[in-house]
Structure 1
Amino acid sequence: MDSYAVFLRGVNVGGINIKMADLREALQTPSFSGVKTLLASGNVVLHSDHGASAVKDEIEACLRKSFGYDAWVVVLPAARVAELIDSCSYPSDDKTTHSYVTLASDPAMLDELFAAGDALHGAQQERLGPEAMAWLAPVGGTLDSPFSKISAKPKFKASTTTRNLRTMIKVRDAATTR
């Protein structure tokens, strides 16, 4: 059985409120075991015999049925999450900046987002792999940062989600312990 990290897009923001206990219960299906939720922002670790694509499809269908919203998730093998974190050169803890990782289920959309960020003067970003990029924002200015505004555009909604690097580390740690 493989370990996966599941990152839900837009949970507990914008009117989509899901209690993590309810999410955990909804995902208790024959396809998944060891389901754990982390924080209140839609982070899940679980085990499955299915591949990442099948896990993604099943979770999105489950969320749509259980919670009645147009759900999108990014699913990565736990080992891949660890690799992405290890490849990030930005600090997980800094007094002046926050490090973020944007994950994508569609690498072409991440290519477009990365190119848009590249066009911003002074944007600090790095590509971590075909499914992830990291970027920096000033403490207290994340939502106002030019890159954050670009990544919030509706065209990226179905395929990308962003997490603080500290959250990614917590997900990695939870996914690698049984």
Structure 2
Amino acid sequence: MKSKLINNSYCAFLRGVNVKGTNMKMAEVCSVFKNTGMKNVSSVLASGNILFSSEKNKNEVKKLLEKALSEHFSYEAFLFIKDKIEIESILSNNPFNPDSNFHIYGFAGIDGIEKTLMSEFEKAEKTEGEEAKIMMDNFYWKVPKGNTLASELGKILGRKNLKNALTSRNLNTIEKVLKKMTDT
């Protein structure tokens, strides 16, 4: 009896795309994904959000894609794979109300990174209205527009010791990712 192959839908959130000299065209990134056997490959925005499907599990896909991207683009690739249910969870558990004066970020990272981020946030000097919360093992950060990179937490997020541990996305981007996953 043949077993039926299951195609899992994922989004790969790449870290460090189009910053500090690592410039990538999303069409070229998609091509690398396709060359590793990923199906239904497409990008959402130009910030390293790649939708795809595969019969492989998340850990297998992560290793395969990081190796292929590292070799193709000559940089140390880090990416975080989320399925549709995980992306829905990030959006539905957002503890902050929308406010046109603030950005709200969700994070993808290694297990336990939310506790590290909360510890760093609690020690950091904050701008007016800046907040952070953990909901269902996800770290959320609300920061006034224009202060993301200048804030103390923003500077902490850029540290080398965190580069392979996490990546962040504005929740507006995560909404676009989910919409495209749902529409396909």
Report the TM-score, using the length of structure 2 for normalisation. 0.88
Q: Among the aligned pairs, what percent are the same residue?
A: 28
**CA apart distance, 1:121:** 5.6
Listed as ranges, the gaps of 5+ residues in structure 2 are: 1-6
What letter is aligned with 2:111? Answer: P
Cα distance change, pair 30–116 in 1 and its aligned pair in 2 (3 A): closer
Alignment pair present for 1:15 and 2:15: no
**CA apart distance, 1:73:** 0.4
SS at match of 2:88: helix
Q: 2:122 — aligned with what?
A: 118
Report the TM-score, using the length of structure 1 for normalisation. 0.91
Alignment map for 1:54-93 (pairs within 5 Å): 54-91=60-97, 93=98
**CA apart distance, 1:27:** 0.7
Paired residues of 1:73 and 1:159 also in contact (CA < 8 A): no
Alignment pair present for 1:98 and 2:103: yes
Paired residues of 1:31 and 1:49 also in contact (CA < 8 A): no
Listed as ranges, the gaps of 5+ residues in structure 1 are: none
Match of 1:40 among 40, 46, 61: 46
How many matched pairs?
A: 175
Alignment pair present for 1:107 and 2:114: no
**CA apart distance, 1:109:** 3.5
**CA apart distance, 1:14:** 0.6
User: Aligned equivalents of 2:77 and 2:125: distance in 1?
Assistant: 33
User: Aligned equivalents of 1:81 and 1:109: distance in 2?
Assistant: 17
Alignment pair present for 1:127 and 2:134: yes
SS at match of 1:127: strand
Match of 1:167 among 166, 169, 173: 173
Give me the CA root mean square deviation. 1.6
What letter is aligned with 2:105? Answer: Y
Paired residues of 2:10 and 2:52 also in contact (CA < 8 A): yes
**Residue deviations 1:60-87, cap 9 Å, x none?**
0110111111000011111110111101
